[in-house]
Amino acid sequence: MSVNLQLYFDEADELVSFLSGEGWPFHGVSTLTEAAVREQILSGRYDSTEEKKTFWIVDDKGARIGLLRVFDLEDPTPMFDIRIGARHRGQGYGGQAVKKLVEYLFSNYEDKIRLEGHTRADNYAMRKTFHHAGFVKEAFHRQSWPSEDGKIHDSIGYAILKNDWAENKRTQIDWNDFPY
């Protein structure tokens, strides 16, 4: 079981099918309609440009099992979003894909010093993925992640530093340095 990243190239029908055919319980909108995905495509959300890249996550047989977007590439601290298809979740594909993204980013962009991601606090699978990919928990945002049902969830911010990745280490945060 291994994954690779393949750059997305205007495969709109496949993207619409993937995103509207799955539930995304830990995203702000858990059910995407075909029309909503097509609107996102037309607005350039998935285009690969200087500012953002979109990748299919493919398994070792070439099947598309997920999608990964990295954005804010004009900044030294870009962010990313990942979606793994329901039948492939919990099998380690997400962690492998995130590690591939980290390697891609830090190997191809000299000016990138860190990669950042956020997830809902109750998304334990993604939190585990961040940890296993070498990311460090850096932030806890109270009542910051709205969901379709009107509930506001807490969220957690994670990041990996280029220096930590290069040295295969993890620099921890001192959460108790000051009470203010």
Burial 1-25 (b: 16+ CB within 10 A, else e): eebebeebeeeeeebbebbeebeee
The secondary structure of residue 23, as a DSSP letter, is: B
Q: Share the mean pLDDT of the chain.
A: 95
Q: What is the pLDDT of residues 11-39, one digit of tens each?
A: 999 999 999 999 999 998 999 999 999 99
In-domain check, residue 88:
yes
Domain count, the chain: 1
In-domain check, residue 108:
yes
In-domain check, residue 142:
yes
Q: Which ranges constitute the DSSP H helices of 25-173? A: 34-42, 93-108, 124-132, 162-167
Domain of 84, CATH number, reads: 3.40.630.30
> Which range of residues forms the domain containing residue 42?
3-167
In-domain check, residue 179:
no
| H helix and E strand count, the chain | 5, 7
Q: What is the pLDDT of residues 41-60, one digit of tens each?
A: 999 999 999 999 999 999 99
In-domain check, residue 73:
yes
In-domain check, residue 64:
yes
pLDDT at residue 113, rounded to an integer: 98
Mean pLDDT, range 90-108, rounded to an integer: 97
56 burial (CB, 10 Å; 0-12 / 13-18 / 19+) is buried
* pTM: predicted TM-score of the whole model, two decimal places: 0.94
Residue 180's pLDDT band (cuts 50, 70, 90): confident
Q: Who's near 6: CB < 8 A, 6+ residues apart?
A: 55, 56, 58
**Which residues make beta-bridge pairs with 71?**
52, 79
Q: What is the pLDDT of residues 129-161, one digit of tens each?
A: 999 999 999 999 999 999 988 999 999 999 999
d(CA 156, CA 55): 24
> Which residue reads 């932030």 in tokens?
139
In-domain check, residue 34:
yes
pLDDT at residue 39, rounded to an integer: 96
In-domain check, residue 106:
yes
